[in-house]
Copies of this chain bind each other. A is one copy, B any other.
């Protein structure tokens, strides 16, 4: 296994935990013997990386990524690499970043969504499936567009809402922080994630997220009207519908 990184100090931090792994800032060294290449940079950084890869990667090596958005990335990278690129999105991780927060069991039974298209090379797809299975993931395949719609609702919109909740709490300027219980902590946890990465994600998937924001605001508006009218039946029904859906979630992992 080889690990390419942009910064030598970031690789240095990984040294002890990855014995036998080639750690290098030289892209050609990292990939020339690779069976499969996994792009784990921010979505916005992939363009530049793709240019660099082109000069040193053998012509058949399968390529995948680990990004949170698929339509735009798959369109770009498939145009460049053809069917040997197949998009992946391992749905795992936290609001933390950097090697210091690596967890050995991160992928154990985690969902990994693959987004093959009609152009996907079947041998490349097989290799990429095997890669994630060997990491411990459960696999699911869907189109890039379905992926982005689904993630807008279960990941990107919750992130936007978490950030907006923090804004809505701070505008009153009170010492509200001291009184936040576990409900607030959990509801806003994801807002602790890296702003630059999340700005990329929200912008890349903005068509779906704008549609999601409309639906979220419409739901909030429905509750607002019910509260303003003192319509207890409607408030309780709104909450009961949400509760039933929420409790119907399968257990984690």
Contact = CB atoms under 8 A, between A and B. Distances in A.
A76 interface: no
Contacts of A213: 220, 223-224, 227
A222 B236 CA distance: 29
A111 B166 contact: no
Interface string A107-121: 000010100000000
A61 B102 CA distance: 56
A216 interface: yes
A178 B237 CA distance: 24
A64 B94 CA distance: 41
Contacts of A246: 162, 166, 188-189, 191-192
Nearest to A162: B187
Contact of A215 (B113, B167, B182): B167
Interface residues of A, number: 90
One complex includes copies of this chain to the number of: 2
A140 B213 CA distance: 37
A149 B165 contact: no
Contacts of A72: none
Given A149-B172, A213-B223, A247-B192, A155 B184 contact: yes
Question: Considering residues A195, A242, A249, which has the most beta carbons from chain B within 10 angstroms of its beta carbon?
Answer: A242
B206 A187 contact: no
A180 interface: yes
A160 to B, nearest CB: 6
Contacts of A169: 153-154, 157, 245
Contacts of A161: 161, 164-165, 187, 220
Interface of A: 91-92, 94, 111, 113, 140, 146, 149-151, 153-155, 157-172, 174, 176-196, 198-199, 202-203, 206, 209-210, 212-213, 215-224, 227-228, 230, 232, 235-243, 245-250, 252
